[in-house]
Chain A
Amino acid sequence: MSPRMARGEAESSGNGNGAPTEHLLALRGFSKSFGPVRALHEVDFEVDSGEIVALVGDNGAGKSTLIKAIDGVQPPDTGDAYFDGQKVRISDPQTAEKLGIATVFQDLALCDNLDVVANLFLGKEVVDGVPVHVLDEVDMEQRSKQLLSDLSVTTLGSVRTQVGSLSGGQRQSVAIARTLIGQPKVVLFDEPTAALGVAQTAQVLALVTRLKDEGLGIVMISHNLEDVFQVADRIIVLRLGERVATFDRKESTPEQIVGAITGADTAEMRRLEEESQQKQSSEE
Chain B
Amino acid sequence: MEGGVASQLRSLGHDARSGILGRIARGELGVLQVFIALAVIWTIFQFANDRFLTAVNLTNLTLQVTAIAIISIGVVFVLLLGEIDLSVGAVSGLCAGIMAVLTVQHGWSPALAILVGLLAGTSIGLINGFFNTYFGIPSFVVTLAGLIAWQGALLLVLGDTGTINLPPSIITDLTSTFYGGAIGWTLAVAITGGTLGVGLMARRRRQKAGLEPPPLAGIVLRTVVVGLAMFIGIAILLSDRGVPLALLILLALTGVFAFITQRTRFGRHVYAVGGNAEAARRAGIRVTRVRMMVFAIGSTMAAAGGIMAASRLIAVNQSSGSGDVLLNAIAGPVIAGTSLFGGRGTVWSALLGALVIGSISNGMDLLGLQSSVKFMITGGVLLAAVTLDSVARRQRAQVST
Contact = CB atoms under 8 A, between A and B. Distances in A.
A148 B223 CA distance: 34
B182 interface: no
Contacts of B263: 134-135
A132 B256 CA distance: 12
B268 A118 contact: yes
Interface of B: 205-206, 209-211, 263-266, 268, 271-272, 274-276, 278-280, 282-285, 342-344, 396, 399-400
Given A110-B276, A112-B400, 18 more contacts: A110-B279, A112-B343, A113-B275, A114-B271, A118-B268, A122-B279, A122-B280, A123-B280, A124-B284, A132-B264, A133-B266, A135-B263, A139-B209, A141-B209, A142-B210, A164-B400, A165-B396, A165-B399
A123 B284 contact: yes
Nearest to A139: B209
A66 B182 CA distance: 70
Nearest to B210: A142
Contact of A105 (B210, B266, B280, B282): B282
A109 interface: yes
Interface in A79-118: 93-94, 97, 105, 109-114, 118
Interface of A: 93-94, 97, 105, 109-114, 118, 122-125, 127, 132-135, 138-139, 141-142, 145, 164-166
Contact of A109 (B278, B342, B396): B278
A67 to B, nearest CB: 13
Contacts of B211: 138, 141-142, 145
Contacts, number: 83
Contacts of A132: 264
29 contacts: A93-B284, A109-B276, A109-B282, A109-B283, A110-B279, A111-B275, A113-B274, A113-B342, A114-B272, A114-B275, A118-B271, A122-B272, A122-B280, A123-B272, A123-B285, A124-B283, A125-B265, A125-B268, A127-B265, A133-B265, A135-B268, A138-B205, A138-B211, A142-B209, A142-B210, A164-B396, A164-B400, A165-B399, A166-B400
A112 B275 contact: yes
A83 B268 CA distance: 33
Of B209, B263, B275, B343, most A-chain CB atoms within 10 Å: B275
B105 to A, nearest CB: 37
Nearest to B284: A123
Contacts of A141: 209, 211
Nearest to A110: B279
Contacts of B276: 109-113
Of B210, B396, B400, most A-chain CB atoms within 10 Å: B400
Nearest to A137: B263
A122 B275 CA distance: 12
Contact of A165 (B209, B268, B400): B400
Contacts of B283: 109, 122-124
Contacts of B205: 138
A154 to B, nearest CB: 16
A58 B216 CA distance: 58
A33 to B, nearest CB: 25
A124 B284 CA distance: 8
B276 to A, nearest CB: 5
A118 to B, nearest CB: 6
B205 to A, nearest CB: 5
A109 B287 CA distance: 14
Contacts of B285: 122-123
A57 B206 CA distance: 49
B264 A134 contact: yes
A110 to B, nearest CB: 6
A111 B344 CA distance: 11
B264 A133 contact: yes
A111 B284 contact: no
Contacts of B210: 142
Contacts of B400: 112, 164-166
A168 B400 CA distance: 9
Contacts of A112: 275-276, 343, 400
A145 B206 CA distance: 13
A225 B274 CA distance: 37
A94 B209 CA distance: 32
A139 B211 CA distance: 10
A96 B274 CA distance: 26
B209 A138 contact: yes
A133 B285 CA distance: 14
B261 to A, nearest CB: 11
A111 B266 contact: no
Contacts of B342: 113
Contacts of B279: 109-111, 122
Given A127-B265, A142-B210, A166-B400, A113 B271 contact: yes
